[in-house]
Amino acid sequence: MKAGVFDSGIGGLTVVKSLLKAKLLEEIIYYGDTARVPYGTKDKSTIISYSLEALEFFKNFDLDILIIACNSVSAYALNEIRENIDIPVVGVIESGIMAVENSISTKDSNILVLGTKATISSNLYNNGLLKNGFKNITSIATPLFVPLVEEGIFEGAILDETMKLYFKDIQNIDVVILGCTHFPLIENKISKYLNSAKTIHSGDAIVKFLLQEYDLKINNNYDTKITFFATSSPDSLKEVAHKWLNI
């Protein structure tokens, strides 16, 4: 099984980490559009146009499946991507919603969705959760978490003050959806700030989704081969991959 993983930049490495740990794939082609990151502040037509350019790149490889690690792309360009390639394309939003279904038993739970401006304004998490019977959903765009994580700020006063700003009206949260690939890097801090709320991590969610919906099998013998491509500063991407993934 050979998968493409598409992300706007380095954040998608948190999804790769889950994929590697799960031993589901023989090979991963990772493409990060580091020249044009972040996508989460851009408008829909720009995100679609950049995503279709990435798709042309992926067509050079004989992929079995394409995984869209970026929530903003999953929110705005999934249909357009699917219309333009003949392999299964999996986004992180549908898998995130399935993960909420699997992790909480009552439809009355208080769910908090965090994401970029693009992801939140698409309302896809919100609508998907409502459709599944959840009633108490709060969505907030937390765009500053992205540059903080990119600058390696995973703790400390700046992050604390940023959470204080974003979460000032938030209370009694049971489950928080980390609707951006950068957020798992501050997962513990977010959960702790929200009184140990349960977290939904796009990478773990997509692994479960692949196992359930695409009949992929865990193979403990897999030593997944991974190749990284970036549209700018490929060495930085490799350096971060080395640090985050221990490869």
Alpha-carbon distance of 98 to 76, in angstroms, equals 19
The nearer residue to a copy of itself, 95 or 116, going by C-beta atoms, is 116
CA angle 94, 95, 101 (to 5 degrees): 95
Q: Is 155 in the site for a copy of itself (CB under 8 A)?
A: no
Give me the DSSP letters along 179-191. ESTTGGGGHHHHH
Q: Is 247 in the site for a copy of itself (CB under 8 A)?
A: no
Region of 55-63, 85-93, 141-149, 211-219 interacting with a copy of itself (CB under 8 A): 141-149
Q: Is 191 in the site for a copy of itself (CB under 8 A)?
A: no
Annotated catalytic residue within 180, 190, 200, 210: 180
Structure tokens at 77: 């360009």
DSSP bridge partners of 201: 178
In the annotation, is 69 catalytic?
no
Q: Is 157 in the site for a copy of itself (CB under 8 A)?
A: yes
Q: How many residues bind a copy of itself (CB under 8 A)?
A: 27
Residue with tokens 């706007």: 8
Contact of 76 with 44, CB cutoff 8 Å: yes
List the catalytic residues.
70, 180
Query: Residue numbers of the site for a copy of itself (CB under 8 A)?
Result: 34-36, 41-43, 45-46, 143-144, 146-148, 150-151, 153, 156-158, 160-162, 164-165, 231-233
